[in-house]
């Protein structure tokens, strides 16, 4: 079947199978920032925006996205807020293996877009659906807060 929807601001048509998840459809269409970690909605590696709200796209049927807006990290690379978050994640050394980073960035983006003054607890709450096994979340939270000491990066 054909799925017509908007991905990253462009109208697209994807050939999908009945029951196919949005995660599978997006990766097949080479939106590869969307990662597969559990396929049960528990880890958040596949977080994307569906009509501007963060969802785990591994538990969203692709067919349910007809006529809706899907935004992946690829679609936000020129967005000022996303660029700020990426810069801060990098400066804070919040990116270790980086597998959970795209999903984490999408969750943080949605939070800070709606609540630019989000504090530590808001950030942790927004990140609870994004499992990270590397960082202990200290550096990602610092990055989201923009709370990075000695920011001048030396080389």
Positions in the binding site for other proteins (CB under 8 A): 17, 30, 32-40, 42-43, 45, 72-74, 77, 86, 89-102, 105, 123-125, 127-141, 150, 153-155
In angstroms, give the least distance from the CB of 125 to other proteins: 6
Q: Quick one: tokens of 95?
A: 């990116």
* Distance in angstroms (rounded) separating the CA atoms of residues 95 and 105: 11
CA atoms of 152 and 155, how far apart (whole Å): 10
Of residues 48 and 67, the one with the C-beta less far from other proteins: 48
Q: In the chain, which residue ranges form alpha helices assigned H by DSSP?
A: 22-28, 80-91, 101-114, 120-127, 138-145
Q: Least distance (Å) from other proteins to the CB of residue 67?
A: 25
Q: Which is nearer to other proteins, 67 or 97 (CB)?
A: 97
Q: Tell me how far, at minimum, the Cβ of 64 lies from other proteins, in Å.
A: 19
* Nearest-angstrom CA–CA distance, 117 and 140: 16
> By C-beta, is 65 or 137 nearer to other proteins?
137
> CA 84, 134, 27: angle at the middle one, nearest 5?
70
Nearest approach, Cβ of residue 81 and other proteins (Å) = 14
Question: Please, which residue, 17 or 67, has the CB nearer to other proteins?
Answer: 17
């Amino acid at each position: 079947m054909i799925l017509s929807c908007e991905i990253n601001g462009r109208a697209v048509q994807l050939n999908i199978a009945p029951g196919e998840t949005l995660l599978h459809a997006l990766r097949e269409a080479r939106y590869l920032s969307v990662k597969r970690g559990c396929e049960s909605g528990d880890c958040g590696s596949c977080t994307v925006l569906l009509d501007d709200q963060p969802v785990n796209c591994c538990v969203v049927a692709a067919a349910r996205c007809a006529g809706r807006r899907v935004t992946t990290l690829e679609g936000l690379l020129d967005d000022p807020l996303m660029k700020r978050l990426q810069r801060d994640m990098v400066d804070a050394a919040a990116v270790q293996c980086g597998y959970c980073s795209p999903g984490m960035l999408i969750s943080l983006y949605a939070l800070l877009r709606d609540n630019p003054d989000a504090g530590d607890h808001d950030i942790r709450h927004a990140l609870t659906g994004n499992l990270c096994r590397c960082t202990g979340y200290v550096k990602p939270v610092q990055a989201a807060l923009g709370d990075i000491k000695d920011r001048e990066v030396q080389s």
